[in-house]
Chains A and B, each alone.
Chain A
Amino acid sequence: MGTNQPLTLSRRNFLKVAGAAAAAGTGLIRPNSANSATPEAPSFESKYSVCDMCFNKCSLIARVRNGVVEKLDPNPKFHKSRGMLCARGNAGVRQLYDPDRLKSPLLRKGERGEGKWQRLTWDQALDHAAEQLLKIGEQYTRCGVMFMAGADMQSTFVHRFADVYGSYNKLSHESMCLIAGTRGFLDTFGEVPIPDMQYTKYVVMSGANRFEALVTPDSMDLMKAMAGGCKLVVLDPRYTKTAALAHEYFPVRPGTDMAVMLAFAHVLITEGLYDREFVEQKCYGIEQLAEHVKQYSPEWAEKECEIPAEAIRRIAREMAAAAPQAMIYPGRRSSNYRNSTQIRRAYAIVNALLGNWDRPGGLTAARMVGLKSPGYDAPFYESNPFERIDHGVAKLMFEEEGSLKIARDAVLREEPYPVKGFFTYKTNPMQTAANRSKTIEMIRKLDFMCTVDIVMSDTAWMADLVLPSQAAFERTDPCSAQQGSSACACVVMRDPVVSDPLFESKPVFWMMKELADRLDLGEYFDLSIEEYRKEQLRDLPGAMDALINDGVYYNPSKLYGVYEGRIFKTKTHKIELFNETYQQMGLDPLPVYESPTAPPKNQFRMVVGRTATITQSSSQNNSLLQEFEPENDLWIHPDSAAALGIHDGDPVTVSGKVGEQRIRARVTRRTRPDTVYMHTGYGVLSKGLSRLQGKGACIAQVLEDGLDEISGNMAMHETFVKITKEKKS
């Protein structure tokens, strides 16, 4: 900003002034005399599309000029996002035109992760992939290839390919994200509820950060509800922005959320504050629960969670007074502790006691959207093993999601059978799965790994074959159904915004179709996306017109009272406070509290979290978003830092059982003295992410891969680390 100079006119500026003055003299430009100026209206073309920067899939409007996307705006007609586009959504333009985008298929030439690549034509690449898939299928059965696809509108075709190829080893990202919560609520309510934030009056948010980790419409609706008087209580070991905006914040001791919930239940039951009529009619096991929570008084809980007993008692009473427009927010990412399913079940139980199910401002059932899922009759391979590779460890694993933690261990052990192939699409376990060394070790066990992505992620960096996917705005995608409680039950779809995809990129649908053809499975991909959509919208006349005209279709389906005259989809056909299935399986039928181990002396528990400008590990290289979070740092409390002689900005080493990283310390009161934190997605290995080279540290390298033994969710808050100050070089 070279202003520290005497004012002189450069020749260039002088000419400019002279020219302008001349122009003004001739009356061409006279802004000061007229004092009025209206710029020419730009000739934008406006096209509906769907954001691809996170899983929320917000409908948006692309402003296109001369075939180039210049700006993305929210679609004001899209209620699920409340007509907004967040920072990441706005940065979608930079994702589309990222100079780091993969340009052609690449075949590994050197060692895995060495970064030596040979450029292939698409035919060469697909022939090679087909050959490898056949070879592994013959040698190790079709289940010898594992498939993993992230949250994407075309991921369904990767699953379809896995099905018809014959592997049931399909993984989603969910076992590193939300399945513990899904499990806990499913095993209580018989379905996974959608919170009705808009009309709620009282929210206890524990283990969620909804004003930074944006979820539509929850984040927006909560803020709106708060403007109308809704109270927000946040429990988090970190002082997040959600905590900063809450009416009350408690820096809860990590891993003790269940103690708080059980104490809430204790107060609601002992003081007779729960919804008796609702519980009597709709819940199973109140007697057992009442007996069970006798031991869990607020005074007992205070010792565990470090929240004053009187506050717990008061909050329970306040919730009861606001019920049924009160809730324990179910949350999303719950890959935290060994017992996260039981922790979340405790959340579900308190909600049941508040009687907020199926009512305004409470937890609502999934609404009817009416989108069809076109089926296919996948062949059955008699030679295949009986079960998935990750079967039998977690008692209630979701078949369709799997468990990356268990699967990775199984691949390493080659038990119950060898898996030698790995196909990934738009997912980055190298950065998002705890214990990166183990992920690398697993990849080294493989005969063939193929990764489809738009950039050279760390996962692509380790692959044998890397295939360049089209960016969202270049693709024709299927329709996608969305649930938004009182905001909407709706459908979105994606048509290309730009006509020429960059470089040689292709949609994964095309890749799957081409591979299926090469494996004599072409009949299962004998369709176009347009036909697929038609099938999806079969029961929704008018939906396609709405999608074209408004960018979204709404199904005005029933929202509240969906369960009137209906049974709950549980074994007892009621909301299961007490879960008999758990009992039969040898699991605790009611959540039993176990006190989390405190970190050893001079060690810290490491926790995972999100910000509004970062999506897991996929957005850190984005040139716009990087300005907000150029690199990560280690959050450490001033008292802890002082004890270790660490000052703000000092380079430190973070070391745990499975790995260590170097990073700068950020001395901050925003974390508890016993807890440290860093953002996910930095410290990359890939040289293909040019803006991230040498930036920050990789949390996945330090985190231990704990396991939630019920759902198979990875438990990422079970790591203790040492922090040591480095000598400044």
Chain B
Amino acid sequence: MKKILSLILGIVLFLTSVGLVFAYGDGNYRKGKYLFRKNCRACHTEAGQAKELSPLSKTMAEWEQAFKPETAAGYPCKDEWAKLSESDLNDIYTYLYKHAADSATPAKCK
């Protein structure tokens, strides 16, 4: 029980802090791409278990929303999220946001 509590607390704290960091989106987008491919594309591909995702799958606003703690907490892959460090998540977010559909440089993750 204590374990679970601390885990929940951990997640909440983590997501809040992440939320703060994400407001800046100042991560390393190159590393973000690498981490996105490594961590997310295992499932988020065309043939994968989850919906295919690329930076241009969403608008900037949608990525912002998608990375809000309350949104992220509802993902089937929330446990996977928890394994990522703050800076890793920020890197991924920076990558996706920078190349979102309505960004100046929309990109597909090949």
Contacts and interface: CB of A to CB of B under 8 A. Distances in A.
- Within the complex, are A and B direct neighbours (CB within 8 Å)? yes
A581 B104 contact: yes
Interface residues of A, number: 23
A380 B31 contact: yes
A375 B104 contact: no
Contacts of B109: 375
B62 to A, nearest CB: 11
Given A571-B60, A573-B59, A190 B102 contact: yes
B104 to A, nearest CB: 5
Contacts of A187: 104
Interface in A536-578: 567-571, 573
A569 B110 contact: no
Contact of A168 (B30, B56, B102, B108): B30
Interface string A273-297: 0000000000000000000000000
A481 interface: no
A157 interface: no
Q: Is the interface of A mostly helix, strand, loop or mixed?
A: loop
B69 interface: no
A380 B30 contact: yes
A573 B31 CA distance: 28
Contacts of A374: 110
A396 B104 contact: yes
Contacts of B110: 373-375
Given A168-B30, A380-B30, A570 B105 contact: no
Interface string B21-58: 00000001011001101100100000000000000100
B61 to A, nearest CB: 9
Given A386-B28, A571-B60, A573-B59, A380 B102 contact: no
A570 B61 CA distance: 12
A594 interface: no
B92 interface: no
A726 interface: no
A570 B31 contact: no
Interface string A355-379: 0000000000000000001110111
B101 interface: yes
A399 interface: yes
Interface in B52-110: 56, 59-60, 101-102, 104-110
A386 B30 CA distance: 8
Nearest to B104: A396
Q: Is the interface of B mostly helix, strand, loop or mixed?
A: loop
A573 B34 contact: no
A586 to B, nearest CB: 14
B60 A377 contact: no
Contacts of B59: 567, 573
Interface string A373-403: 1110111100010100000000010110000
A399 B110 CA distance: 15
Nearest to A374: B110
A570 B103 CA distance: 6
A391 to B, nearest CB: 11
Interface residues of B, number: 20
A377 B38 contact: yes
Contacts of A571: 60, 102
A179 to B, nearest CB: 12
B31 A399 contact: no
B81 to A, nearest CB: 20
Contacts of A399: 105, 107
Contacts of A375: 37, 109-110
A521 to B, nearest CB: 15
A374 B108 CA distance: 12
Contacts of B35: 380
A574 to B, nearest CB: 10
- Interface centre among A187, A379, A568, A571, by most B CB within 10 Å? A571
- Interface centre among A373, A396, A567, A569, by most B CB within 10 Å? A569
Contacts of B104: 186-187, 396, 581
Interface string A561-604: 00000011111010000000100000000000000000000000
B45 to A, nearest CB: 9
A570 B102 contact: yes
A365 B64 CA distance: 27
B69 to A, nearest CB: 25
B59 to A, nearest CB: 7
Nearest to A539: B46
Contacts of B34: 377-380
A571 B61 CA distance: 9
Contacts of B28: 386
A396 B104 CA distance: 7
Contacts of A379: 34
Nearest to B30: A168
Nearest to A191: B106
A81 to B, nearest CB: 27
A384 B34 CA distance: 13
A568 B106 CA distance: 12
Interface of B: 28, 30-31, 34-35, 37-38, 41, 56, 59-60, 101-102, 104-110
Given A168-B30, A375-B109, A567-B102, 19 more contacts: A186-B104, A373-B108, A377-B37, A377-B38, A379-B34, A380-B31, A380-B34, A380-B35, A396-B104, A396-B105, A398-B105, A399-B107, A568-B102, A569-B101, A569-B102, A569-B106, A571-B60, A571-B102, A573-B102
14 contacts: A186-B104, A187-B104, A375-B109, A377-B38, A378-B34, A379-B34, A380-B30, A380-B31, A396-B104, A396-B105, A399-B105, A567-B102, A569-B106, A573-B59
The 9 closest A-B pairs by CB, nearest first: A380-B34, A375-B110, A373-B110, A377-B37, A569-B101, A569-B102, A571-B102, A396-B104, A570-B102
